Structure 1
Amino acid sequence: MTQEIHVRRYDIDWLRCLAFLLLIFYHVGMYYVFDWGWHIKSAEQSVWLQDVMVWSNQWRMSLLFFISGLVTSLADHKLSHWAILKERSSRLLLPLIFGMFVIVAPQVYYEGLTQDLFEPGYWDFWLHYINPNSEFLSDHHGPIGLLTWNHLWFLPYLWCYSLILLAIYPWITQVLSHRLLQSINGKCALAVLILVMLGIWFYLRPNYPVTHDLFNDWYSHGKYFWVFVVGFALDKFPVLWQRLIECRRGLLIVAFMCYVFIIMDRHQMFQPLADLYTRSNGVRL
């Protein structure tokens, strides 16, 4: 009888660390970037930071959910579903509760001070902050008063996605192990992943603005739950993993070209073409 040995994926550990490091630098940059709304802004703001930060705008959070899905699949090799749920709850919900009451509270307090919404006095503010029935700053209340998870929204989203994935686990593993799906080559699988993401971007993004309130955030759910499931499936779909490895240089070139295109468009370098399109019937044809 052979015993299955699962080697720790240090490459995934490194990718997760780099993703969170990028997230930290991005949020620090929001303090200094010019003309982008943020809770507190520096008096010294930089326009060129916009071009730097737009590089990761569309994928930095998707990368975190993708890695989380992959880690969930790797944990499935050695933990029961109940153990995974317990681990996720302790690692996500407890930090979320602590963060909302201890970490986020001073952030909201100092933001309110900079906007002259109330007089200094953190303890009085905190008592109103933790009371969902308080009438203090009622114009700024959310569903539970002033209490908010702010930028910790990733934690409840990931917990809910994990719960959903474990609930549909028998079905999704049956689909992933189906002979027809396993026979699909890497190119087709990669094309399907991209087409689904494009569909989410075109059909959900215009109709459902990002809210991060969990209940009315369907574009974010479509995008993040999809990449979460893709991350989970990647561990169980070796042909796609191998295809991504083989295409990594080409995909990097495409990503760089798309970034250049976005920057050129932001600086209106395509405006002459747009003007020509509006003036010339020949160009339209």
Structure 2
Amino acid sequence: MTTERRYDIDWLRVIAIGLLLIYHIAIIFQPWALFIGFIKSDDALEGLWKPMTMLNVWRIPLLFFVSGMGLYFAMKKRNWKQLFFERGKRILLPFVFGFLAITPLHFLIFQQYYNMPLSYFPHMGHLWFLGNIFVYVLLLSPLFFYLKKNEKGRFKKIISKVMRYAFGPLTISVFFMLEVGFVKPQLFELYAQTWHGFFIGLLAFFFGFLFVYSGKVFWQTVSKWKWLYIGIAAVLFTLRFTRYESISNMYITTIESNAWILGLFGIGYSYFNKPSTLLSYLSPAVYPVYIIHMFVLYAGALLILPLDLHPILEFIAITLFTFIVCFLIYEFILKRINILKPLFGLKWKVKSVIEKMLKRA
């Protein structure tokens, strides 16, 4: 069965990962960087954090929404056995390998920078996201396969009807408010290895699937009302970030977060749902780049911070170093060495490897 390629969703994934890299680099220049295990610059750029406070309420939820959408498309051409095998290969294998071999690298660089005794410390680090996704696949796939078998049923008709209205997609914020009420997170944007991050990810993954499941009506709605969603999000962000922040709270932040995301889906569907040479290169690259970016980022900090440049130049230099080195590693190592491909979530054709081995024999 063939499925329509959604280039806008691919673009959103690429953009979200790119912003994630910049977000992590910005942390180096915050006074509290050491408290969360980042190398810290002696010269703070606290003003750099202002735009990050807008990003940090939707950047991770967006990736969970997109992952739920991706599962819908994966299920269109796979049964449950094929799906679990494919997700295990694409998500669980890179997660386990990263836990043992990739995330310890940036901890070693951290130890080196601060002249600490070097020690091997396997941990999830930034790959907690992959662990969550795999658990969501296991938990929600039975329900998703049931919904898939009943695509002409009453539930889909109800969902599709709700999605016709401007505020229909935004009504999912009620469930995110319930999550805030039950979990009571310290900060809305504290996702990594927390119950808040787990449940907000579960909700985003579930509703990402439902949005695509509801049919074209969802995309028509977000495309039509995209600027309304962006406007709502901008107003709520302004309240959260200005002297009116006392009006805001985490319950309202759920609306802001979802409004940004719905607006981005609308913008993507309206303007970016078309193929491009750049996207065809970036789309497979972002996953391995996401896996390796932390140790590359830390290596950049190790090399550049001791140069004692102006902090803005340090930020620019570490950003350029991180992006360039990540893509050099992807292009000349990960993309070309077949045995490494499955460890970094890249497609790996066993047949072609066997053929090469036979030719060499």
2:144 to 140, 144, 169: 169
Q: Deviations over 1:28-75 (max 9, x none)?
A: 111123435442111222110121111111111111110010011011
Distance in 1 (alpha carbons) for counterparts of 2:50 and 2:197: 23
CA–CA distance in 2 between the matches of 1:41 and 1:245? 41
Q: Is the alpha carbon distance of 1:182 and 1:271 closer, same or farther for their aligned partners in structure 2, counting shifts above 3 Å?
A: closer
Separation (CA, whole Å) in 2 of partners of 1:271 and 1:64: 27
Runs (4+) of structure 1 moved beyond 3 Å?
34-38, 112-117, 170-178, 206-213, 270-273
Amino acid at match of 1:24: L
Deviation at 1:110, TM superposition (A): 2.8
| Deviation, structure 1 residue 247 | 1.4
What is the one-letter code of the residue matched to 2:25?
A: V
Equivalence for 2:13: 16
User: Is the radius of gyration larger for structure 1 or structure 2?
Assistant: 1
Corresponding residue to 1:249 among 215, 219, 227: 227
Deviation at 1:180, TM superposition (A): 5.3
Counterpart CA distance in 2 for 1:71 and 1:272 is 38
SS at match of 2:122: coil
Distance 2:155 2:85 in 1: 34
Is this contact kept in 2: 1:208–1:218, CA < 8 A?
no
The equivalent of 2:109 in structure 1 is: 110
Alpha-carbon shift at residue 272 of structure 1 (Å): 10
Which of 219, 235, 241 aligns to 1:263? It is 241
Please list every run of 5 or more consecutive structure 2 residues that lacks an aligned counterpart in the other structure. 248-361
TM-score, scaled relative to structure 2: 0.59
Evaluate the alpha carbon distance shift between residue 176 and residue 58 of structure 1 in structure 2; reply closer, same or farther with a 3 A threshold.
farther
1:204 aligns with one of 176, 180, 183: 183
Amino acid in the other structure paired with 2:179: I
Q: How far did 1:117 drift?
A: 4.4
Q: Distance in 1 between matches of 2:156 and 2:105?
A: 50
List per-residue Cα deviations over 1:139-166 (Å, max 9, x = no partner). xxxxxxx421111111111111111122
Whole-angstrom CA distance in 1 between matches of 2:54 and 2:246: 24
TM-score (norm 1): 0.74
Q: Which residue of 2 aligns with 1:70?
A: 69
Equivalent position to 2:210, from 233, 236, 240: 233
Q: Secondary structure at the match of 1:32?
A: coil
Cα distance change of structure 1 residues 154 and 204 upon mapping to structure 2, 3 Å threshold: same
Find the partner of 1:192 among 167, 171, 187: 171
Q: Note the C-alpha offset of 1:259.
A: 1.7
Contact 2:2–2:77 at 8 Å: present in 1 too? no
Q: Is the 8 A contact 2:101 2:122 kept in 1?
A: no
Q: 1:16 Cα shift?
A: 1.0
Per-residue deviation, residues 8-41 of structure 1 (Å, max 9, x unmatched): 1111111111111111111111112343544211
- RMSD between aligned alpha carbons? 2.7
Relative to its length, the structure with more helix (as a share) is: 2
Q: State the distance in 1 between where 2:246 and 2:14 align.
A: 43
CA deviation string 1:196-219 (max 9, x = no partner)? 112212332348995744xxx332
SS in 2 for 1:226: helix
Q: How far apart, CA to CA, are the structure 1 residues paired with 2:62 and 2:8?
A: 14
Structure 2 vs 1, CA of residues 147 and 271 (structure 1 numbering), >3 Å: closer, same or farther? Answer: closer
1:27 has 2:24 as partner? yes
Letter matched to residue 230 of structure 2? L
In structure 2, distance between residues paired with 1:180 and 1:211: 31
Q: Which amino acid aligns with 2:88?
A: S
How big is each residue's C-alpha offset from its partner over 1:63-118, in whole Å with a ceiling of 9 and x where there is no partner? 11100100110111122222222121111122222222322112112323455542
Question: In 2, distance between residues paired with 1:170 and 1:78?
Answer: 12
Residue 174 of structure 1: CA displacement? Answer: 6.5
Shift in Å at residue 271 of structure 1? 8.5
The CA deviation string for residues 116-135 of structure 1, in whole angstroms up to 9 with x for no partner, is 542xxx5xx2xxx3xxxxxx
Question: CA contact under 8 A between 2:26 and 2:49: conserved in structure 1?
Answer: no
Q: Which residue of 1 aligns with 2:81?
A: 82
SS of residue paired to 1:199: helix
Question: Which structure carries more relative contact order (alpha carbon 8 Å, separation 6+)?
Answer: 2
